[in-house]
């Protein structure tokens, strides 16, 4: 056991739990990772990482001696007083978050004056209050509660853990909140009582529980709004001849706006944005408040996924019998996560329109296959585009950015390329003989012939 660092328990070994566990182990804590899935725990014990997250396998291996994997929650309770909760909170059919896994953890806690639950899972505002009441009713009033939302991005989660923008700790001002702040101190800048320099390490926001819960939901809802906003601007750009890349560049230089999250495309997906936007909308609705803006954010995102169909029909006419290749399936690059991926809607719409769909994704194929019935899977991008009437770039993996577009054109039967992420060089595509369609961009003109006059 580390001499100075506090041992912790982490309940739930998904993306958030595993990255949090490995991250705190890297900072020197002994970490007991608990999961009800015995198969997952057995795999982790064998050194297998059940998800694809760059750098995570290495971090787990490096800190293996500090990590214990078990299905037995009492091991965590014996060794640690801080128990981080990182179980799933998927949306229910009503759009509310399903808190059954969270409540199972709460119910499994014993009466104790020396333990605390630290909530990492994204939960509706007010969950902390409810859990504290449940603890009281179950005679476990001494159990402490802290909200410490995660802001990890899939694909860069390890780096995000080790270099957070901010750490939000919502608590009742007791020992548990202090202990969580102490755990994060190596990652906080000195202005916030941390051990690092003033910048660029994270800032600490120590607040009440409800505000911490709201920071998480509001941040994700704002980012999703930014994406739907730029997607609508892109759609208007298409009507007016403006180029959304130029527009976003010009907007982003205003430091009140900032350049990030202004990439137009075929909509956001993933485990967080769609779920959190809906959860916040629902949460507001449950209190009688109609969150109008978020309705539009969701609707724009749904329509955006379908815009590709219109672009294909513009060039191909009917899609019946056409072969369409999808490059990328995951909801974004560097992850195998297919949750709410735009590719799911797109493939289904294409099949419904009578097209044959073939796809390639460098990492997510195994996860995607059972979700995409009737889609042919190719082992590499050129095999995917071979014989295709049109190609759609769905996920901007680096290997697609690096594709030789002349080779793509030669392999295809047709010549339509829809760049759903504005990730490819439109002029190079046109030079290769492709009909290129970006998102919110005028069609690139062929490069003028060189004049020697």
The region of 234-242, 271-279, 363-371, 374-382 touching ligand UDX under the rule CB under 6 A is 271-279
Is residue 148 annotated as a catalytic residue, yes or no?
no
Closest CB to ligand UDX among residues 268, 400: 268
Q: Which residue has the tokens 């290749």?
A: 325
269 lines the binding site for ligand UDX (CB under 6 A): yes
Q: What angle do CA 273, 278, 281 make, to 5 degrees?
A: 125
Beta strands in 186-277 (DSSP E): 203-207
Q: Tokens at residue 168, please? A: 């939000």
Nearest distance, CB of residue 100 and ligand UDX, angstroms: 21
Nearer to ligand UDX, 156 or 383 (CB): 156
Selected from 178, 211, 261, 298, the binder of ligand UDX by CB under 6 A is 261
Identified catalytic residue from 33, 148, 237, 272: 272
**Which residue stretch of 35-43, 95-103, 265-273, 364-372 sits at the interface with ligand UDX (rule: CB under 6 A)?**
265-273
270 binds ligand UDX (CB under 6 A): yes
Q: Least distance from C-beta 152 to ligand UDX, angstroms?
A: 5
Q: Which of 24, 84, 145, 331 binds ligand UDX (CB under 6 A)?
A: 331
12/210 Cα distance (integer angstroms): 23
DSSP-derived letter for residue 377 is: E
Measured torsion, CA atoms of residues 41, 45, 51, 54, in degrees rounded to the nearest 10: 150
Using CB under 6 A as the binding rule, whether residue 63 contacts ligand UDX is answered as: no
For ligand UDX, which residue of 188, 245, 262, 424 counts as binding (CB under 6 A)? 262
> Which range binds ligand UDX by CB under 6 A, 103-111, 267-275, 292-300, 407-415?
267-275
In angstroms, the CA 231 to CA 266 distance is 8
The CA distances from residue 134 to 139, 163, 416, in Å, are 9, 35, 58
3-state secondary structure of 202: strand
- Contact letters for ligand UDX, residues 131-160 (x by CB under 6 A): -------------------xxxxx------
Calculate ∠ Cα 324-329-332, nearest 5°: 135
35: Cβ contacts below 8 Å, ≥ 6 apart: 11, 12, 13, 17, 41, 69, 71
- How many residues bind ligand UDX (CB under 6 A)? The answer is 20
With beta carbons less than 8 A apart as the criterion, state whether 163 and 196 touch: no
Least distance to ligand UDX, CB of residue 271, Å: 6
Among 66, 81, 120, 263, binds ligand UDX (CB under 6 A): 263
User: Residue 332 interacts with ligand UDX (CB under 6 A)?
Assistant: yes
Residue 9 structure tokens: 């328990």
Give the residue with the Cβ less far from ligand UDX, 30 or 340.
340
Q: Which of the residues 199 through 238 are near ligand UDX (CB under 6 A)?
A: 220, 223, 227
Cα 11 → chain centroid: 20
Beta-sheet strands, E only, within 258-395: 323-327, 356-360, 376-377, 390-393
E strand residue ranges, 189-296? 203-207
**Closer residue to ligand UDX, CB minimum distance, 135 or 268:** 268
Q: With CB under 6 A as the contact rule, which of the stretches 85-93, 168-176, 261-269, 374-382 interacts with ligand UDX?
A: 261-269
Helix, strand, coil percent content, the chain, rounded in steps of 5 = 45, 15, 40
Calculate the alpha carbon distances from 224 to 67, 277, 368 in Å.
35, 7, 24
- Binding of ligand UDX by 400 (CB under 6 A): no
Residue nearest to ligand UDX (CB): 272
Contact 330, 296 (CB under 8 A): no
Q: By C-beta, is 160 or 178 nearer to ligand UDX? A: 160
Nearer to ligand UDX, 152 or 358 (CB): 152
Closest CA to 417 of 447, 380, 391: 391
Least distance (Å) between residue 270 CB and ligand UDX: 3
213 or 389: CB nearest ligand UDX: 213
CA gap 414, 409 in Å, rounded: 8
Q: Interface with ligand UDX by CB under 6 A: which residues?
A: 150-154, 220, 223, 227, 261-263, 265, 268-273, 331-332
Q: State the catalytic residues.
A: 272
């Amino acid at each position: 056991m580390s001499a100075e660092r506090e041992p912790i328990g982490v309940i739930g070994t998904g993306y958030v739990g595993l990255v949090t566990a490995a991250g705190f182990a890297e900072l020197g804590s002994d970490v007991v990772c608990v999961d009800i899935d015995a198969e997952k725990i057995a795999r982790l014990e064998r050194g297998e990482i059940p998800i694809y997250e760059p750098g995570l396998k290495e971090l787990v291996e490096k800190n293996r001696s500090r990590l214990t994997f078990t299905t037995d929650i009492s091991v965590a309770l014996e060794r640690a007083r801080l128990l981080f909760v990182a179980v799933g909170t998927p949306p229910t059919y009503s759009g509310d978050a399903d808190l059954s896994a969270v409540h199972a953890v709460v119910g499994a806690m014993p009466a104790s004056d020396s333990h605390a639950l630290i909530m990492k899972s994204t939960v509706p505002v007010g969950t902390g209050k409810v859990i504290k009441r449940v603890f009281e009713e179950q005679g476990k009033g001494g159990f402490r509660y802290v909200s410490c939302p995660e802001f990890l991005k899939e694909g860069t989660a390890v780096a995000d853990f080790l270099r957070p923008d901010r750490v939000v700790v919502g608590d009742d001002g007791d020992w548990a909140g202090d202990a969580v702040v102490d755990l994060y101190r190596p990652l906080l800048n000195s202005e916030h009582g941390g051990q690092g320099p003033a910048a660029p390490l994270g800032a600490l926001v120590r607040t009440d529980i409800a505000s911490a819960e709201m920071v998480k939901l509001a941040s994700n809802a704002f980012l999703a709004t930014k994406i739907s906003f730029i997607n609508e601007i892109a759609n208007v750009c298409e009507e007016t001849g403006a180029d959304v890349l130029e527009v976003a560049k010009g907007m982003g230089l205003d430091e009140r706006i900032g350049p990030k999250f202004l990439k137009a495309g075929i909509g956001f997906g993933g485990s967080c944005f769609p779920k959190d936007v809906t959860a916040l909308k629902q949460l507001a609705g449950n209190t009688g408040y109609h969150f109008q803006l978020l309705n539009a954010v969701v609707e724009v995102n749904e329509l955006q996924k379908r815009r590709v169909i219109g672009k294909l029909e513009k060039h191909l006419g009917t899609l019946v019998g056409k072969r369409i290749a999808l490059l990328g399936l995951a909801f974004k690059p560097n992850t195998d996560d297919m949750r709410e991926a735009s590719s799911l809607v797109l493939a289904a719409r294409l099949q419904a329109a009578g097209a044959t769909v073939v796809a390639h994704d460098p990492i997510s194929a195994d996860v995607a296959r059972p979700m995409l019935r009737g889609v042919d899977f190719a082992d590499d991008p050129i095999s995917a585009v071979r014989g295709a009437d049109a190609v759609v770039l769905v996920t901007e993996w680096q290997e697609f950015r690096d594709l030789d577009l002349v080779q793509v054109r030669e392999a295809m039967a047709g010549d339509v390329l829809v760049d759903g992420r504005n990730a490819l060089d439109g002029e190079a595509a046109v030079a290769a003989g492709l009909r290129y369609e970006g998102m919110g961009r005028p069609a690139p003109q062929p490069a003028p012939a060189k004049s020697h006059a």
